[in-house]
Amino acid sequence: MFIRHVWRSGRPIDTWTARESADEAKKRGIVESISASQVNRYLADAALQPHRSRYWLNTTEKDPQLFQQQVEIVCGSYLQAPALYHQCHTHTVCVDEMTGIQALERNAPTIPMKAGQPARIEFEYTRHGTLCLIGNWHVVRGQMIAPTINPTRTDEDFCAHIQQTVATDPLASWVFIVDNLNIHSSESLVRHVARLEGIDESELRTKHSSWLNQVEVIFGIITRRILQRGNFTSTAALQERLLAFIDYFNRTFAKPFNWTYTGRPLA
């Protein structure tokens, strides 16, 4: 087990083993004697798992009230999505990118697992380039729709992706939920939307959206199911596998999230 501490021990480490924690506790006079296994038992009794961690994103919005309003708007969009879809023919879609997806070819075949031994994947690999996946997660249908896979991620790429997505159902209304990346509010995209909606382009302004993006969960699934153990001889092979998995996921596993968060702390 590994243990994290904030002690200023002088040790050049950030992640501690139970043995090091036991040694430090004796050094500081906290206890006269303790074993590494006892440290682990104390942690287990307290239901603490310091060897585990999760990333989180701190907001850059300085006004807490404005930030709260923005969160509630996005959460409201998720909660309203089923009624909008079934009653008003409106698609609510989460959009984001997986960038720098590497087409890695292992330099030796993977050795299959056998009793008592996991599969062994060759550590060395050859790089064959990278791709960017722009994904749409349909909040109500629970599917990835109209993905775009390109070598680049530019303003023009994202604007073309939105146009391609809308073209799948041009008579519908669309709600796109994106994060604050600059290309998500680029001039080319904003002007395109303005032309579709008949808005005077001289009155256009940019507006940032939220980081509450459901499609990130799907990107995590793609990483675990396809990329971590993947073996791709070219970017074309990588693209083919990504599209095949998205189709497979939509047919077999996809379902909408049971979104209950309203933007306020859950009771």
The reply to whether 9 and 75 lie within a common domain is no
Domain containing 175 — which CATH number? 3.30.420.10
The reply to whether 28 and 93 lie within a common domain is no
The reply to whether 77 and 35 lie within a common domain is no
Q: Is residue 187 part of a domain?
A: yes
The reply to whether 150 and 224 lie within a common domain is yes
Using CA atoms, how far residue 23 sits from 11, 31, 142, in Å, is: 12, 10, 51
Q: Is residue 266 part of a domain?
A: no
User: What pairs with residue 117 in β-bridges?
Assistant: 114
The reply to whether 40 and 148 lie within a common domain is no
Q: Tell me, what's the pLDDT at 123?
A: 87
Q: Is residue 59 part of a domain?
A: no
Q: Tell me, what's the pLDDT at 115?
A: 93
Closest by CA to 222, choosing from 98, 129, 93, 92, is 98
Q: Is residue 261 part of a domain?
A: no
Q: Tell me, what's the pLDDT at 242?
A: 96
Q: Is residue 50 part of a domain?
A: no
Q: Is residue 57 part of a domain?
A: no
Q: Tell me, what's the pLDDT at 80?
A: 93
Tokens of 67: 């930030």
The reply to whether 166 and 39 lie within a common domain is no
The reply to whether 75 and 163 lie within a common domain is yes
**Domain range for residue 40?**
2-45
Using CA atoms, how far residue 119 sits from 114, 115, 241, in Å, is: 7, 10, 21
The reply to whether 118 and 226 lie within a common domain is yes
The reply to whether 120 and 202 lie within a common domain is yes
Contact 142, 246 (CB under 8 A): no
Q: Is residue 257 part of a domain?
A: no
The reply to whether 11 and 142 lie within a common domain is no
| Total domains in the fold of the chain | 2
Q: Tell me, what's the pLDDT at 14?
A: 77
Q: Is residue 267 part of a domain?
A: no
Q: Tell me, what's the pLDDT at 208?
A: 47
Q: Tell me, what's the pLDDT at 173?
A: 92
Residue 196 to residue 85: CA distance in whole angstroms: 20
Q: Tell me, what's the pLDDT at 66?
A: 78
Q: Tell me, what's the pLDDT at 209?
A: 47
The reply to whether 28 and 128 lie within a common domain is no
Residue 164 to residue 160: CA distance in whole angstroms: 6
The reply to whether 73 and 200 lie within a common domain is yes
Q: Tell me, what's the pLDDT at 251?
A: 93
Q: Return per-residue pLDDT of the chain as tens, 267 residues.
A: 455 544 567 778 777 889 999 999 999 899 999 999 999 999 999 998 887 877 666 666 677 787 788 788 888 889 999 999 999 999 999 999 999 999 999 999 888 899 999 888 888 999 999 999 999 999 999 999 999 999 988 888 998 999 999 999 999 999 998 877 666 666 666 666 667 666 665 555 544 444 578 888 899 999 999 998 889 999 999 999 999 999 999 999 889 988 887 776 655
Residue 68 to residue 8: CA distance in whole angstroms: 36
- What are the tens digits of pLDDT across the range 103-130? 999 999 888 899 999 888 888 999 999 9
